[in-house]
Amino acid sequence: MPDPTTKDDIQRQSPPIRALAVDIDGTLSDKDRVLCAPALRALRLLRRREVPVILATGNTHCFTRATSVLLGTPQTFISENGGVISFSEYKIETVADLSLCEQAFSRLSAEFPLRKYSSTRYRFTDIALERNFDVAAASRRLEEMGLAVDLIDTTYAVHIKDRRVDKGTGLLHIADYLDLKPSQFAAIGDSNSDLPMFRLAGFRASVANAGPELKAVSDYVAGAEYGEGFAEIIEYMLREKML
C-alpha cells in the first residue's frame, strides 16, 4: 500500500469525533460502483464501536436507504446532494425545489446534448445526467441565464441541483437532529460534491482517487483508492485515537 499523505500545516486542534459523514460512490465502492470488501470490514468495526456512519451521497433516497440497510448504517442519511434528508425510518424531509432543476434542464437541453439517467424517476429534488457534455460550459450558461441551480460532477454523473442545498446543509440538519456539532463529524469522500461538508467537519479525509481540490482541504489523504482507502482512513483514525 502506498504511503499516505498527511497535511503538515494543520493549525487547529480537532475536536473529539463522534460520528462520520461518508460518501458512497468512489469512497465505499470501486470505480464500477461495487462495494469494496475492506470498506465493509471497516464499517463492521465502526458498528462494534457504536460510531454512527451517516451516508452522504448524490444518490436517490431509495438507493441510499437500501444501501444503509445492507451496510448496517443508520436510517439517518443525506441523499440527492442534500436535497433529501432522512432523519429516521419514519421522518424524511425534502428541502429542495425540483422545479428549478426541471427549468434548467429544459433550457440547457436546447444548447447541450443532455441525457437523463433512468434513476431520475426516483428522484425528488435533483436531476442526474450522463457525463456526455461540457459541464464547465453548461455551468457558465446557467450563470448567464440567472438560474439558481448548480451543476455538480461527481465523476459518476452530473447533477442539476437547487443551489440552496448541498452535503454541507445536509450535515447541518443531521448534526442538529443528533444533537452534535458539525465539527464533531469526520467527513470522508472523493469528489467536489463533498467539499461543502468538508468545510464544516472537524476532520476531513479523502481517498487516493479524490480530485485535487478535495485533497487540498483534507487533513488526511489515503494512499489507497476507493474502499481500500476508506479502510485506511479508519485505521488511521483508530491509531490516532480519534474514534
CATH of the domain at 28: 3.40.50.1000
C-beta of residue 206 within 8 angstroms of C-beta of residue 164: no
Residues of the domain holding 24: 17-94+165-239
Residue 235 has pLDDT above 70, yes or no: yes
Please indicate, yes or no, whether residues 38 and 21 belong to a single structural domain of this protein: yes
Domain boundary among 111, 132, 162: 162
What pLDDT is recorded for position 16? 87
Domain boundary among 124, 143, 162: 162
* Digit-coded pLDDT (tens) for 112-130: 999 999 888 899 999 999 9
Domain count within the chain: 2
Please indicate, yes or no, whether residues 130 and 211 belong to a single structural domain of this protein: no
Split at pLDDT 50, 70, 90, the class of 108 is very high
H-only helix segments in the chain: 37-48, 61-71, 98-108, 135-145, 167-177, 195-198, 212-216, 226-239
3, 8, 9, 23: which is the annotated catalytic residue? 23
User: Is 64 among the domain residues?
Assistant: yes
Residue 64 has pLDDT above 70, yes or no: yes
Here the CATH number for the domain that contains residue 127 is 3.90.1070.10
Please indicate, yes or no, whether residues 186 and 87 belong to a single structural domain of this protein: yes
Please indicate, yes or no, whether residues 88 and 120 belong to a single structural domain of this protein: no
Please indicate, yes or no, whether residues 110 and 217 belong to a single structural domain of this protein: no
Average pLDDT for residues 38-44, to the nearest whole number?
98
Split at pLDDT 50, 70, 90, the class of 1 is very low
Please indicate, yes or no, whether residues 173 and 235 belong to a single structural domain of this protein: yes
What pLDDT is recorded for position 120? 85
Q: With 0-12 CB in 10 A as exposed, 13-18 as middle and 19+ as buried, what is 149?
A: buried
Compare 63 and 7 and report the one with higher pLDDT. 63
- The CA distances from residue 100 to 82, 107, 163, 164, 174, in Å, are 15, 11, 9, 11, 24
Instruction: Verify whether residue 150 is a known catalytic residue.
Output: no
What pLDDT is recorded for position 3? 53
User: Is 126 among the domain residues?
Assistant: yes
User: Is 6 among the domain residues?
Assistant: no
Please indicate, yes or no, whether residues 187 and 144 belong to a single structural domain of this protein: no
* Digit-coded pLDDT (tens) for 161-208: 999 999 999 999 999 999 999 999 999 999 999 999 999 999 999 999
Domain boundary among 107, 135, 162: 162
